[in-house]
Structure 1
């Protein structure tokens, strides 16, 4: 999806990621193309991450590490969904 430059209110060239969140952020960026989308006649709605694809992309972690990472990804997914679907409404 392409966003028009005028739709971007603030561009951040750099931002800080706390060390404790680094794995979650890099994992989220790894799966940034794995979204489920529902298309209608005139628009579409972001539904969330495709967790089968996410699991395949991030395999190799212990069960405990996977569950922790999944919880962190869901937090970021929820925040992203609010932004992505708000853009569709405007």
Structure 2
């Protein structure tokens, strides 16, 4: 299924890129319910993506916003 392209504002590109890189780093509770990102993996992702350490706090805050929105979508999609 092809989806239409979305515009990513330049100020948000880094957060979207890192969020995409964490797509396999989700924690799940019983019965496959998503709980959230595995935060202990974020330093590895930040380093692999070349994110400067001074940007980590800002990026973490931005990722948490995206994580919350993603959780809402994933939970609402459950039958």
The TM-score, its normalising length taken from structure 1, stands at: 0.76
Cross-structure match for 1:15 = 6
Matches within 5 A, 1:30-69: 30-39=21-30, 43-59=31-47, 61-62=52-53, 64-69=54-59
Structure 1 unaligned segments of length 5 or more: list them: 6-10
1:36 counterpart SS class: strand
2:3 counterpart SS class: coil
- Superposed structure 1 runs of 4+ greater than 2 Å apart: none
Number of residue pairs the alignment of both structures matches? 76
Alignment root-mean-square deviation, CA: 1.6
Structure 2 unaligned segments of length 5 or more: list them: none
Higher helix content, 1 or 2 = 2
Structure number with greater Rg is 1
